[in-house]
Structure 1
Amino acid sequence: MSETAKLTRGSIRGHLVTQTLPMVIGVAAIMSVGLIDAYFIGQLGAAELAAVSFIFPITMALTSLGVGVMVGINSVISRALGEGDVERAERRANFGVVFALLAAIFLGSALYLLLDPLFGLMQASDAILPLIKAYMQPYALGMPVLLLQMSLSGVLRGQGEARRVSAISITYSVANWLLDPVLITGVFDFGGFGVAGAAYASIIGYGLACVVALFFIKHTQLAIAPAKIRGCNIGESSSAILRIAGPAAFSNAINPIGLSVLTALLASQGEAAVAGFGAAGRLQSFAVVPLLGLSGSIGAIIGQNWGANRADRARRAMYWAGLFCVGYGLSIAVVLFAFGDWFADFFTEDPEVIDEFSRYLAISVWGYAGYGLLIVGNGALNAVDRASFALAQSAARVFLVMLPFAWLLRASWNSDAVYAAELIANIVGGALASLVVWQVLRDKSETSASAHTKR
């Protein structure tokens, strides 16, 4: 067992708490940026808000790519540390950072050149396209900073440095809180940059977060020095990271795709249904922050113990994480179910929207526990180099359960079909993830026990 892999020692429950709480704070901080952006862009006018609606799915897809890279780096580092191979962990860390930068330069350049045809395919009007380009051009050029920040966060995550990862997220968020009103709408005699100001604020925020991340990494056991990749097997390292990063990126992108299709299906039920669904979705995004935080922290715990051949500890971590998902998921469901109308009043005074908002919560909240089991299970599978399993179950949840259910029943159930589709998908997805993860960890445990008996 490696003395450098701190999560292979001590209380599993203690590690879950100390790794997850900072992640929860970091996730909440990042999610707040979207609300701040929307508030100040909304002051510019309806056209600017429409432009953001076109931009959102693209930026979500690119962020999912960054998350995939971060998860891949986290996975290879945590397992190498668990095996006691600090030098390999350091080589993989540096290779991952350089890989992320090169990928970002390529993708950012391609995005910059393809903005017109891309948003033309999305049916953006000629009036809105200049606003879209005003945001997306600096965003595309700033992609290296985005992926650099995420890759550095992956280096820290793999070492179990959850508090430092949270501090990086908070740095990015605070920068946006302070810069948005200045760069978007302007202050005093400065008129601001409009929609482009939101992109500038994000890029500056990512840049500051990179500085903080590099400072933190300097005080850990792994050093960021690109020269260290000279002794790295490029093909092997690329394969190890991409084997996790690719499926993880797609897994993160699948849910927004599914929700986009559900929104399109709801459009036939009227604006009130779409508005209620969207407003309740924003509330839901904050309600599941603890589950998202746990899904981000579980990887380092599982990965280090997996690498150290401590499958018993990995199973125990997943057991307690699963109990939290069920307990928290059901508890928050009761709260939202009981106070649905009260929460709706914060978003709107329209009685039709309030009714749809409350009905969505009354149905969908009972699937939060299953959703937690799914995303935490995906985090565990990514950590043990089973990212393809995570991708498969995420895809099955959306494309084999959620969308067919909503499509087939929307004629008779109206908007309730969409709300119920999300509920059923989360329950099925959570159950499937639990079975798959438990089987994977049990197989490792049995293999380890057999090898120990032979010795």
Structure 2
Amino acid sequence: MSRSSAPARPIAARFVHGSTLRHVATMTAAGSIGLMAVFVVDLLNLFYISLLGEEELAAAIGYAGTVMFFITSVAIGVMISGSALVSRAVGRGQVAAGRRLSTSSLLYMSVATGLVSVLMLPVLTPLLSLLGASGRTLDLARDFLLIVLPSTPLLGIGMAASGTLRGIGDARRSMWVTLSGGLATAVLDPLLILGLGLGVEGAAIASVLARIVMAAYGLNAVVRVHRLAERPSLAGLLTDLGPLSAIAVPAILTNVATPVGNAYVTYALAPHGDAAVAAWAVIGRLIPVAFGPLFALTGAIGPVIGQNVGAGRYDRVRQSIRDSLMLTLVYVLAVWAVLALARNLLAGVFGLSPEGVHLVAFFCLYAAGAYVFFGALFVANAAFNNLGAPLLSTLFNWGRASLGTIPFVWIGGHYFGAEGVIAGQALGSVAFGVAALICAFAVVRRLHAGSRPPAPATPLAGAELPAFSRGEDASAIEAAPMEIGPADDVSRRS
């Protein structure tokens, strides 16, 4: 798949000069568009399902989404790894190494997501039962997953391609990878769910077809537009297995914490009936639509911090974190106000029972404000990943998913019912958001005082961990000669 032609374009570190607030805001806006498209379509998916008039269908989508969240978290971890290593190689002018790493990350992603899917397929029924699903709701959720799970490697390929594109600075095409999948789903969902009357199975088929579109667009952008791929080889994959795993493993552990916490919330709501689980499914799709820019912010701040760490500009690193927090605070307060004012309208359009409507309205009025602290944790995690301390990100995410979720949710559910479960999850985020933020600034101070680049974290799988794990600090390249082989000096220059 490799091509050789003109030399690569010069690579500029764009984020070491100018307003850090502008850089963070611009990158966040670009990243938000693709994410929001997917999240809005996901919400519409649930809306179409709700038009069928059966609350069990919405509950089934909620249970299935909890299971899918685990696999998506694995894919996100691998995507972070590939993006970091490609951006590091290309940023140092090692374009051939970047090409090899891009190819290896696609292979790594395919194997990882395929393996997880294969392991999950035989245990879907006990897994869904563990979450609290039963009867027809369990059967519907299992049928959905049996269709969608085999296509998970396609989702992974699309995400890996998107990460590579961000790694070289092509935010526009990276956005269009997810946007293309979202648009495909927007067209297919009403046709299959309502037009052909396929219901939950129609939603599953639409998801599979959308993943094909995502993978095709992403591969075209990486292989044909940027020529940032070569013929796959076992030698190349083995060369990059250690560096990829060294970032991917802690990143996966970090990201899996969130679905673990959400799974416990689903489990805690299950005794309150399908109405509560269906309401949780609506909340779970409302959150990313309302707070999508916060998720985009974690990727946007990465290249800004990464480039300034490389330049030794720790004053700008600190300012970037402050700017991100300010954007988080302003955005969450504004969205919280909108959700509170529109709570009855939002809660009433999904065909929920009165109990479900009340629970969604409760979230909009009270619990949504906790995303100030979720956002603080997101910003701190992005900082840890780019300051050579990804294990701190893992620690705080798991702390929030366990100590910050289980006791609060249990106490809330025991004394206050379904409302207490929702409130408990929100309250548990406060302490961990604040603590993670304090720790992030402490890491910056330590590195600044040492006047040296951040030391790599202890590798989990063989190779040295890069100094930042979500850098997107290189401009897009169109082509480059292949004069460096698999054993080039990417690690030596590290």
Question: What residue in structure 2 maps to residue 4 of structure 1?
Answer: 11
1:148 and 2:157 correspond: yes
Quick one: higher RCO (CA 8 Å, sep 6+), 1 or 2?
2
Question: What residue in structure 1 maps to residue 305 of structure 2?
Answer: 302
Aligned equivalents of 2:90, 2:141: Cα separation in 1:
44
Mean Cα deviation higher: 271-280 or 258-267: 271-280
Question: What residue in structure 2 maps to residue 200 of structure 1?
Answer: 205
- Greater helix share, structure number: 1
Question: What residue in structure 1 maps to residue 30 of structure 2?
Answer: 22
* Aligned partners of 1:19 and 1:161 also within 8 Å: no
The equivalent position to 1:172 in structure 2, one of 160, 167, 181, is 181
* 1:238-387 matches, cutoff 5 A: 238-266=241-269, 279-341=282-344, 343-346=346-349, 355-387=358-390
Partner SS state of residue 223, structure 1: coil
Aligned equivalents of 1:336, 1:117: Cα separation in 2:
36
TM-score (norm 2): 0.77
* 1:369-408 matches, cutoff 5 A: 369-408=372-411
Label 1:304 to 1:94 Cα distance change in 2 as closer, same or farther (>3 A). farther
1:422 and 2:434 correspond: no
Question: What residue in structure 1 maps to residue 76 of structure 2?
Answer: 67
Per-residue CA deviation, residues 107-142 of structure 1 (Å, 9 max, x unaligned), is 333344554665566676676676555433342332
Aligned equivalents of 1:286, 1:293: Cα separation in 2:
12
- AA paired with 1:234? L
Aligned residues: 444
Let me know the Cα RMSD of the aligned residues.
3.5
Per-residue CA deviation, residues 366-419 of structure 1 (Å, 9 max, x unaligned), is 322111111122223223443221111011123112321232355445555434
Mean Cα deviation higher: 252-261 or 20-29: 252-261
Mean Cα deviation higher: 170-179 or 280-289: 280-289
Mean Cα deviation higher: 77-86 or 327-336: 77-86
Cα drift, residue 342 of structure 1: 5.2
Label 1:95 to 1:446 Cα distance change in 2 as closer, same or farther (>3 A). farther
- AA paired with 1:254? A
Mean Cα deviation higher: 381-390 or 405-414: 405-414
TM-score (norm 1): 0.83
Cα drift, residue 41 of structure 1: 4.0
* Aligned partners of 2:98 and 2:228 also within 8 Å: no
Question: % of aligned pairs identical?
Answer: 28
Per-residue CA deviation, residues 286-312 of structure 1 (Å, 9 max, x unaligned), is 221121121222223323433454444
* Aligned partners of 2:148 and 2:205 also within 8 Å: yes
Per-residue CA deviation, residues 79-109 of structure 1 (Å, 9 max, x unaligned), is 3344454443333222111111222333333
Partner SS state of residue 373, structure 2: helix
The equivalent position to 1:234 in structure 2, one of 210, 235, 238, is 238
Mean Cα deviation higher: 363-372 or 400-409: 400-409
Question: What residue in structure 2 maps to residue 36 of structure 1?
Answer: 44
* Aligned partners of 1:79 and 1:303 also within 8 Å: no
Label 1:175 to 1:334 Cα distance change in 2 as closer, same or farther (>3 A). closer
The equivalent position to 1:92 in structure 2, one of 101, 109, 115, is 101
Cα drift, residue 278 of structure 1: 5.3
Aligned equivalents of 1:322, 1:434: Cα separation in 2:
9
Question: What residue in structure 2 maps to residue 223 of structure 1?
Answer: 228
* Aligned partners of 1:156 and 1:162 also within 8 Å: yes
Cα drift, residue 247 of structure 1: 2.9
Partner SS state of residue 228, structure 2: coil
Aligned equivalents of 1:437, 1:222: Cα separation in 2:
37
Mean Cα deviation higher: 409-418 or 393-402: 409-418
- AA paired with 1:402? T
Aligned equivalents of 1:274, 1:107: Cα separation in 2:
25
Partner SS state of residue 298, structure 2: helix
Label 1:111 to 1:406 Cα distance change in 2 as closer, same or farther (>3 A). closer
Aligned equivalents of 2:384, 2:199: Cα separation in 1:
42
Label 1:242 to 1:5 Cα distance change in 2 as closer, same or farther (>3 A). farther
Mean Cα deviation higher: 414-423 or 86-95: 414-423
